[in-house]
Amino acid sequence: MPATRRQDVGDPNMFTGIIEELGRVRSVEKRGEDARIVIEARTVTHGSQNGDSIAVNGVCLTALDVTPHSFRADVSKETLFRSTLGSLKEGSPVNLERAVTPTTRLGGHIVQGHVDARGKFVGSEDHGESWTFRFAYPREIGKYLVFKGSVSVEGISLTIANLTDEYFDIAVIPKTFGVTNFSALKPGDEVNLEVDVIAKYVERILTEQAKADAAMS
């Protein structure tokens, strides 16, 4: 049996935010302050082995006990606190994506599977052939959000269509609505948010440069 890998902050895996499958939670077992989740899936388990990474609602988890129809993931206290995985229960629909490979097309944007904050689903507007979904976000990630920029919501790569200091809107096409858990969202539901990592790198570079300039002056 292949050796398993530990999920941690340094996990180098990457995702695209293009959901491969809508799975369902088979069971949730509390283990002290951690949790063990078993997820029913048929697409992301194909070709996956114990220790491979699978994003669950945008959270990078290590898949264990992989079978053709399910996999298990152990979720730490920190992950439960930072994300919405702690609210999952039997039957909950979950967005699933395997980590990219060197031959994978980058159809969305670079998604790390590291949740930056929890947002809140405000509501949606039905346009007949599409929808507009609105999400409130905490102030601390506002500096990373830009109009027409990328954001990951529940692991889905999306483009911000409208942005205010309190919420952003995204356009949802029938394909996204049908193959993700967006169809099950209710106003007030919390969602996992991950901002574009490039914005965080740029911020870090500028901050360090400002420090260097100040030290030299």
Residues 156, 196, single domain; the answer is: yes
Q: In whole angstroms, what is the distance from residue 25 CA to residue 91 CA?
A: 5
Kindly state the percentage of the chain with pLDDT values over 90.
78
Q: How many CA atoms lie within 13 A of 110 on its CB side?
A: 8
Q: What is the pLDDT of residue 209?
A: 87
pLDDT of 6 above 50: no
Would 110 be classed as within a structural domain? Answer: no
pLDDT of 213 above 90: no
Would 74 be classed as within a structural domain? Answer: yes
Position with higher pLDDT, 179 vs 3? 179
Mean pLDDT confidence for 4-27: 75
Nearest to 87 by CA among 181, 6, 212: 181
The CA R_g of the chain, rounded to the nearest whole Å, is: 18
Using DSSP's 3-state secondary structure scheme, residue 8 falls into coil
Residues 192, 150, single domain; the answer is: yes
Number of domains in the chain: 2
Q: How many CB atoms lie within 10 A of CB 46?
A: 12
Q: How confident is the prediction for the chain on average, in pLDDT?
A: 91
Residues 140, 195, single domain; the answer is: yes
Q: How many CB atoms lie within 10 A of CB 48?
A: 19
Residues 81, 125, single domain; the answer is: no
Domain ends where: 98, 131, 148?
98
Q: How many CB atoms lie within 10 A of CB 166?
A: 12
Domain holding 71, by residue range, is 21-98
Would 129 be classed as within a structural domain? Answer: yes
Q: Mind listing the pLDDT tens digit for each residue in 87-137?
A: 999 999 999 999 987 766 677 788 999 999 999 999 999 999 899 999 999
Nearest to 189 by CA among 181, 197, 177, 178: 181
Would 181 be classed as within a structural domain? Answer: yes
pLDDT of 162 above 50: yes
Would 177 be classed as within a structural domain? Answer: yes
Would 188 be classed as within a structural domain? Answer: yes
Residues 84, 25, single domain; the answer is: yes
Q: What is the pLDDT of residue 203?
A: 87
Residues 84, 139, single domain; the answer is: no
pLDDT of 63 above 60: yes
Domain ends where: 98, 126, 152?
98
Would 207 be classed as within a structural domain? Answer: no
Q: What is the pLDDT of residue 5?
A: 38
Q: Mind listing the pLDDT tens digit for each residue in 185-196?
A: 999 999 999 999
Q: How many CB atoms lie within 10 A of CB 206?
A: 10
Residues 92, 125, single domain; the answer is: no
Q: Considering the entire predicted model, what is its pTM?
A: 0.87
Q: In whole angstroms, what is the distance from residue 42 CA to residue 26 CA?
A: 13
Are 200 and 194 in contact, with CB atoms under 8 Å apart?
no
- Cα 201 to Cα 73, 78, 152, 159, 212: the distances in Å are 29, 23, 17, 19, 17
At 116, list the tokens.
């930056």
- Position 156 confidence tier, pLDDT thresholds 50, 70, 90: very high
Position with higher pLDDT, 212 vs 135? 135
Q: What is the pLDDT of residue 12?
A: 60
User: Domain holding 41: CATH number?
Assistant: 2.40.30.20
Residue 10 is given by DSSP the state T
Q: What is the pLDDT of residue 1?
A: 33
Q: In whole angstroms, what is the distance from residue 147 CA to residue 154 CA?
A: 19
Would 151 be classed as within a structural domain? Answer: yes
Nearest to 21 by CA among 47, 2, 50: 47
